[in-house]
Amino acid sequence: ELKGGSPSGDGGSIKCSQCELDIDNVKFTDNTASIKGGAIYVSDSTSKMLLRNTLFSGNQGTAGGAIAVIDANNVTISDSDFNNNIAATGDGGAIESAKDMTIKGSGFLSNRAASGDGGAVKMFGAKLTASGSSFKNNKAKRGGALKTTGDLDFSNMVILPVRGPEYCSVLVNDHTITI
């Protein structure tokens, strides 16, 4: 378990640049980043991140309450849970990403972008491919579950209920949605 990390800057537990993260069966709890990525921050185009059977709970950053991906080669998350993570002043209660991401069989419960967009996930100009996952009780200013400015490909998803001032669970701006 990686618990209670609180460095100044990005990445409450892990700051990854030019690295390969292969994380399986790990808990990230109560970590805080003074900037982005409450638990994990990824920032280099050669970096890869594979998460399996991982729990992110109670983490906080200004954006990307659990994870912030600024740049990466490959990001895949499977069979993982994101609960009660907070983006204190920015976007992505659980995840903020500017790179394509695949999410499989994962749950997003009660994450919050306190004054930003994407209660669970905020994608900046990148494609999100998600299957067999659930978004429940997440909250944000816009896009209670998700906000993206990139393409979205969903299959076998559960998204409940809507929580945000603009009452929209998924907000997509000028891109393709495949469901």
Residues 159-167, mean pLDDT to the nearest whole number: 61
**Average model confidence (pLDDT) across the chain:** 91
User: What pLDDT does residue 19 have?
Assistant: 94
pTM, 2 dp = 0.93
Which stretches of 3-131 are DSSP H helices? none
Lowest mean pLDDT among 32-41, 61-70, 122-131, 158-167: 158-167
Environment class of 60 (CB within 10 Å of its CB; exposed 0-12, middle 13-18, buried 19+): buried
Environment class of 25 (CB within 10 Å of its CB; exposed 0-12, middle 13-18, buried 19+): exposed
26 token code pair: 């790990």
Q: How confident is the model at residue 165 (pLDDT cuts 50, 70, 90)?
A: low
